[in-house]
């Protein structure tokens, strides 16, 4: 079975948010179109406590239960069956959806006999990349939908480096037509 994993498509990572991917809004129509092509749709969210050590490196973003941590209204959420919460403790960054603390992503994928994982979301250089690398390490055939991923662009060249790293590790980069 194939599954779609939406990584951190949250208000704080969109333009106007606390830690925006400049082109983040452009992926929402593509993600909405993809959602209807999958029987199993899973999403991850950053879900940080107020006192997270994560904020020593990054601006305060995606505080648990805040508007910034919510999915954008434009996102078609009807098929999202499971939401993974990550970065929930003061001591963890939670870059990968495989680091969720409320549910084990591997358990969901195995219970549903997922062998093909399609990944999209925010941001290319951090949470998407780390999720993709963890999926590959766990043995899943992993696809990344290029037009459904956007970068935060914190450092010049990081986005391109992330795409290369994912591909070199075995991810299959696909294009939404």
Residues labelled catalytic:
8, 86, 127
104 contacts: CB under 8 Å, gap ≥ 6: none
Dmax over CA atoms of the chain, in Å, equals: 42
Cα 155 from Cα 93, distance rounded (Å): 18
Burial class from Cβ neighbours inside 10 Å (0-12, 13-18, 19+) for residue 125 reads buried
């Amino acid at each position: 079975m194939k599954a779609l994993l939406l990584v951190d498509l949250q208000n704080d990572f969109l333009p106007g948010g606390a830690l925006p991917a400049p082109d983040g809004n452009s992926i929402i129509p593509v993600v909405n179109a993809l959602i209807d092509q999958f029987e199993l749709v899973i999403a991850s969210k950053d879900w940080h406590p107020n006192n997270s050590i994560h904020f020593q490196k990054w601006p305060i973003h995606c505080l648990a239960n805040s508007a910034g941590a919510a999915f954008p209204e434009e996102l078609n959420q009807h098929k999202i069956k499971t939401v993974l919460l990550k970065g929930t403790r003061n001591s963890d960054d939670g870059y990968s959806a495989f680091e969720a603390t409320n549910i084990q992503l591997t358990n969901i994928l195995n219970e549903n006999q997922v062998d093909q994982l399609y990944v999209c979301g925010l941001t290319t250089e951090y949470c998407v990349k780390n999720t993709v690398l963890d999926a590959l390490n766990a043995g899943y055939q992993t696809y990344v939908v290029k037009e459904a991923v956007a970068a935060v662009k914190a450092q010049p060249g990081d986005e391109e480096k992330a795409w290369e790293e994912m591909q070199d590790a075995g991810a299959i980069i696909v294009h939404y037509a």
